[in-house]
Chains A and B, each alone.
Chain A
Amino acid sequence: MSDFSLTILFASVLATAAPLIIAALGETITEKVGVINLSLDGSMLLAAMVGFMVSYESGSLVLGFGAAALVGAVIAIVVGLFGIYLGLLQVAVGFALTLMCKDLAYFLGNPYSRLQGPQMLSIKIPVLSDIPFLGPVLFQQPLIVYVALILIGAIWWYLFQTERGLELRAVGENPEAAYTRGIDPRRKQLLYTAIGGALIGLAGAAYSLGIKPGWGRPQGIEGLGWIALAIVIFGGWHPIKVALGAFLFAFLQVIGITLQGIWPSVPAQVFQVAPFPLMIFALVMVNLLQREGVQGWVKAHPMLQRFIKQLQGVPPRALGKSYHPD
């Protein structure tokens, strides 16, 4: 690739990462309140299809995004009702939903395959987009990229700087204690699971209406829901680190496309799947850092210690466990 440019590289990393950031942040809220919504891979696909269908029929992108968010929220509420109120295994419900929503998306979306529909265009922010390098990277993107970037800060602020965020985290850590303080843990869990699901739905539509416009089989976003789930763990359930994880994965994807041009002898398929195992490898490294032997070695190197501390995350203590008031 002779026309390789850093500007294009960073701009496409940012755009590729945006839907992933939104989905992973939605899952972060969900898991912070103690619920695992494993349906991401299917619900993003179904939301992508519904989002495309609605905006194709209505000609309105806003309606498309709204419908997609609604789909994500409804699926999340099913996970919530089954898991929180019926006490079923959240992982089982989520997995069944993943597979079913994927097939439902392809079944219902069949008539909308390969149609030219409305899509988000890049918005040039005046003045700012004229800054050399930073301008084209940061200020010439589709609206959804700005939304993703704002969400990172907004969710961090909500979780860690507000009273309600504190309550949310309290439910995820210790629902019994939250209950004695007058909070209804199950209602909070259902509420935030639904909000998280709405974000996951938005992420799906961000693909079909912007980043990978259109609908077809295969849609090309299969597997990304699972990656979003892995990124939440990688980011230690912290919104900012989760976003960094999404950037890392997007970077691997974009660099894969670039490398493909440099080494045409290596089959393209290798570059397409490579980011997935690399992400899992990153998870292994993060987990290994928590081992005692490694911890001892780290203590002897104070410079490293500060860096490695940043990489560690602890899951919410009540994650995946259903709370039963007695």
Chain B
Amino acid sequence: MRGVKQHVTEIALILGMVTLFTALVLSLVGASPLDAFGHLIKGSLGSWSKFSRVLNVWIPLTLCSVGLLYAFRTGLWNIGVEGQVVIGAIGATAILRFGMEGGGQMHVWMALLLAMLFGVLWALFAGSLKVKAGVHEIFAGLGLNFVAMGLVLWVIFGPWKRPGIASMSGTQPFPRELWFPTLEGWRVSPFALGLALLVIVISAWLLYRSRVGLNLDAVGKNPRAVRLFGLSPSRYMLIAIMVSGALAGLAGGLQVSGVYHRLIPAISSGYGYLGLLVVMLANFRLAPVPFIALFFAALNVGSIQLPMMMQLDSSLAGVIQGACVLSALLVFGLRGLKKRRQSNE
């Protein structure tokens, strides 16, 4: 009971700090905090169609976040997840372009598979730089993110440019036959939702109930001891980062085949970086991830209203998300400090 009470107090404390901070930021630009909060809520939960858009953000964000959990287990910061989403999207587009004339569902599933494979290879690249060449994964990942960004711009303006005009609006849209399957009248594909839920369930088992999860955990906590048991830390690190890359690639593939139906420069929408914040706020545990991802997705969609309704920049969503993570870190840190003080007495 005490545990639950502590959790509730902490969450209330975090939300209180975030609300205060956001209100302060809003009043700095002379905007009414109440109006802004109202638009955020109405813009994300106000109608079924708006909520469908939230779910469309939730799917890739959850996939990225769950993937990151695997990498974090082994102590790796897979900051390259952003680039892995982009590369996955490029992989999916490559297959879908083959199906432009008379293609079908076969192409869509092949596209998702290639997206995952591309994500895995891109992640393996960053992982090998870390394990073999000793480059910190944050810099390897960031370098590869820049390369992925360059690649997507190059294909859109170069080999895959729209007939006639190459522009930031992306490649030629795919015909309906090449869209990720959905149901009539649904703005978010229930199959994509199911896929994301399936990934959560499988990961719950893999991370917390299976031998693989146990080994990943051991690698992250004590790589030296793990060697005594005959396990190779670098092999588990590579496995973890590859799973991370596969899920990020899948997110990229779904963005192309299920949401935008073409390749655009901002195909990742920053969900890779945002996923890192989700996982930090979840304190690196799986259970809170889907809920935090839903909250963050709602903020992203709701903030689209701000430029139209209040002439404010939509980056307010990012300010709130960052404030959430920093407040949570503060609360976790104070809790740890208290514990250390008590054990010293």
Binding site for B on A (CB under 8 A): 38, 78, 82, 86-88, 91-93, 95-97, 99-104, 106-108, 110-111, 217, 223, 226, 229-230, 233, 267, 269-270, 272-274, 276-277, 279-281, 283-284, 287-288, 290, 324, 326
Query: What are the residues of chain A within 8 A of B274 when measuring CB–CB?
Result: 99
Q: Identify which of B29, B135, B329, B337 contacts A107 (C-beta below 8 A).
A: B29
Q: Mask for B303-340, Cβ within 8 A of A = 1, else 0?
A: 00000000011011111011101100110111011001
Which of A95, A103, A233 lies at the interface centre, i.e. has the most chain B CB atoms within 10 A of its CB? A103
User: Do residues B329 and A93 form an inter-chain contact, with CB atoms below 8 A?
Assistant: yes
Closest CB-CB distance, A257 to chain B, in whole Å?
A: 15
User: Do residues A82 and B315 form an inter-chain contact, with CB atoms below 8 A?
Assistant: no
Which of B134, B139, B316 lies at the interface centre, i.e. has the most chain A CB atoms within 10 A of its CB? B139
Give Cα A95 to B325, complex, Å. Answer: 10
Q: Which residue of B lies closest to A280 (CB)?
A: B143
Given contacts A103-B317, A107-B29, A110-B29, contact A96 B325 (CB under 8 A): yes
Q: Mask for B121-145, Cβ within 8 A of A = 1, else 0?
A: 0000000010001111011101110
Dominant secondary structure of chain A at its interface with chain B: helix
5 further interface pairs, Cβ-Cβ under 8 Å (given A86-B333, A96-B280, A279-B143): A103-B322, A107-B25, A107-B312, A108-B25, A270-B154
Lowest 3 A-B CB distances belong to which pairs? A100-B322, A103-B318, A280-B143
B153 proximal to A (CB < 8 A): yes
Q: Identify which of B133, B329, B336 contacts A92 (C-beta below 8 A).
A: B329
User: Do residues B134 and A88 form an inter-chain contact, with CB atoms below 8 A?
Assistant: no
User: Do residues A87 and B337 form an inter-chain contact, with CB atoms below 8 A?
Assistant: yes
List 29 contacting pairs A-B, 8 Å CB cutoff, sorted by A: A86-B330, A86-B336, A88-B329, A88-B336, A91-B138, A96-B322, A96-B325, A99-B318, A99-B321, A100-B322, A102-B315, A102-B318, A103-B318, A104-B25, A106-B313, A107-B25, A107-B318, A267-B154, A270-B150, A273-B153, A276-B143, A276-B146, A277-B150, A279-B143, A280-B140, A280-B142, A281-B143, A283-B135, A287-B135
Give Cα A270 to B146, complex, Å. Answer: 10
Give Cα A41 to B324, complex, Å. Answer: 19
Dominant secondary structure of chain B at its interface with chain A: helix
User: Do residues B139 and A280 form an inter-chain contact, with CB atoms below 8 A?
Assistant: yes
User: Do residues B147 and A273 form an inter-chain contact, with CB atoms below 8 A?
Assistant: yes
B157 proximal to A (CB < 8 A): yes
B37 proximal to A (CB < 8 A): no
Closest CB-CB distance, A71 to chain B, in whole Å?
A: 13
Q: Which residue of A lies closest to B157 (CB)?
A: A267
User: Do residues B150 and A95 form an inter-chain contact, with CB atoms below 8 A?
Assistant: no
B109 proximal to A (CB < 8 A): no
Query: What are the residues of chain A within 8 A of B277 when measuring CB–CB?
Result: 96, 99
Give Cα A233 to B137, complex, Å. Answer: 13
Query: What are the residues of chain A within 8 A of B312 when measuring CB–CB?
Result: 107, 110
Closest CB-CB distance, A37 to chain B, in whole Å?
A: 13
Q: Identify which of B150, B313, B322, B333 contacts A97 (C-beta below 8 A).
A: B322
Query: What are the residues of chain B within 8 A of A111 when measuring CB–CB?
Result: 29
Query: What are the residues of chain B within 8 A of A233 when measuring CB–CB?
Result: 136, 139
Give Cα A108 to B149, complex, Å. Answer: 27
User: Do residues A100 and B135 form an inter-chain contact, with CB atoms below 8 A?
Assistant: no
Q: Which residue of B lies closest to A288 (CB)?
A: B133
Q: Identify which of B149, B326, B336 contacts A96 (C-beta below 8 A).
A: B326
Q: Mask for B62-93, Cβ within 8 A of A = 1, else 0?
A: 00000000000000010100000000000000
Give Cα A103 to B318, complex, Å. Answer: 6
Give Cα A26 to B297, complex, Å. Answer: 36
Q: Identify which of B29, B140, B143, B144 contacts A108 (C-beta below 8 A).
A: B29
Query: What are the residues of chain A within 8 A of B295 when measuring CB–CB?
Result: none
Give Cα A82 to B135, complex, Å. Answer: 26
Query: What are the residues of chain A within 8 A of B136 when measuring CB–CB?
Result: 233
Give Cα A267 to B277, complex, Å. Answer: 33
User: Do residues A107 and B143 form an inter-chain contact, with CB atoms below 8 A?
Assistant: no
Given contacts A100-B326, A269-B157, contact A92 B280 (CB under 8 A): yes
In chain B, residues 244-286, which have Cβ atoms closer than 8 Å to a Cβ of chain A?
Answer: 273-274, 276-277, 280
User: Do residues A106 and B315 form an inter-chain contact, with CB atoms below 8 A?
Assistant: yes
